[in-house]
Amino acid sequence: MSAKEKLQGKTALITGASEGVGRAIAEALSHYDMRLGLIARSQKKLAEVAENVNRNGSVATILKTDLRIESEVKGAVEKFNTKFGVVNFLINNAGIGFRGRWGDISLESELETMAVNYAAPVTLIHSLLPDMLKTNAGHIININTIGGLYAAPYNGAYCASKWALLAYVESLAYELEN
């Protein structure tokens, strides 16, 4: 069975889909006749990605969402489920970080980093995993960084958020291995 046959008609929810790695993932998957939910804050950039996805034969829905706000994350899940049903692939790609000496970075910025890089993926997993388990299908892909393995000066909150996500999903993998 070819990759196209395996992926055709499947659904994917991609965070950080407006640029960089997230956009590349969306555009790569668009060649497989999939249904893609695109999450980011920029409506304009998401519209560009959606246009490319649709032109390549898949169907995209724009889910303009601020991942720092839990209610918006949950709202995006509801919109996705209403339009496409159960998610086959959750791709937690979005990430932010502020580089600088700890005293020069505001507490608000550090907490925003934790919200986007850790709390939003956990919220998405909590929202989508129950249906994946009911259907005994689905994949969760977390795009992480070397910062999830090593501490680095001037990147405390960023590294902490990436470590936290890694620890969370490794624990989850042990719980769900059977």
Q: What is the CB neighbour count within 10 angstroms for residue 61?
A: 20
- H-helix or E-strand spanning residue 73: helix 70-84
**Catalytic residue of the set 118, 150, 154, 158:** 158
What sign for the dihedral angle of Cα 105, 107, 112, 117?
Answer: positive
Residue that is written with structure tokens 């689905």 in the block: 138
Q: How many residues does the chain have?
A: 178
Q: Is 158 a catalytic residue?
A: yes
Rounded CA-CA distance 41/112 in Å is: 14
Using left for φ > 0, alpha for ψ between -120 and 50, and beta otherwise, residue 5 falls in: alpha
Q: Could you tell me which residues are beta bridge partners of residue 61? A: 37
The catalytic residue positions are: 158
